[in-house]
Amino acid sequence: MRYAGSMPAPRRELRRTMAESQEKELEEVIAERLREAGLKFATERAIGGLAPDLALRAEFQETKTRGHSAEVTKVDKLIFAAMPFAPQYEDVFFVAMSYAAEQVGAVCDRVDRREFQGNVVDEVHRLIRKSTAVIVDLSESKPNVLYEAGFAHALKKPCVHICSTPMDKLPFDVAQWKTTRYEAGQTHKLRRDLTQRLKQIFES
């Protein structure tokens, strides 16, 4: 028995599914817009709360307005970033890695910020081959990061390893690499360490 004014169950389910689909599409649009802006909320919160000095704030604002790396047509010195693709690591890329690369006259790039056609693995190979050095964030031991790091090591590319999660969780052979430990949300400190390491590589 169905009361007057009530909606049949199949129709209610259809409306719920459509609403969820629209919400997901909206989230994807917002995420893409944030990606294009070159920053996510986690970055702004980290800088605003943990790095109050005016110089760093100015650098942060400048980072927000920089062009998308896909627009770079010619790069003399490229530093490839092998890292997890998650919001909590956005400040690691934009505040620490990109800044450190600029200090040595290079550009830091990662595969998800490129516009390309074809297989993503082929693009990763191309970028690593082209790079002068590779920064590897081993946090969480992500399989894609370990693969990219292994490829870079096989090509004997200079690698700078960093990690914010417990290093005793790293695979045994990876744990033998020289790795800089950093704390999540303190990328204003990490960028100094990365700058020093990259200067050593480029001056050697």
Domain ranges of the chain: 39-203
Q: Which of 34-48, 121-135, 148-162 has the lowest mean pLDDT?
A: 34-48
pTM of the prediction? 0.65
Residue with the larger pLDDT of the pair 126 and 6? 126
Task: Report the distance separating Cα 134 and Cα 157, nearest Å.
Answer: 7
| Fold type of domain 39-203 | Rossmann fold (3.40.50)
Q: Are the beta carbons of 86 and 110 closer than 8 angstroms?
A: no
How does 1-10 read in b/e, with b if 16+ C-beta sit within 10 Å?
eeeeeeeeee
Residue 113 has a pLDDT of 77
pLDDT digits (tens, 9 = 90+) for 67-126: 444 444 456 799 999 999 899 999 999 999 999 999 999 999 998 877 767 788 999 999
> Which comes out higher in pLDDT, residue 8 or 142?
142
Q: What is the pLDDT of residue 104?
A: 95
Chain mean pLDDT for the chain = 77
Count CA atoms closer than 13 A to 35's CA, side-chain side. Answer: 17
Residues in Cβ contact with 78 at an 8 Å cutoff, skipping those fewer than 6 apart: 106, 107, 108, 109, 127, 130, 131, 132
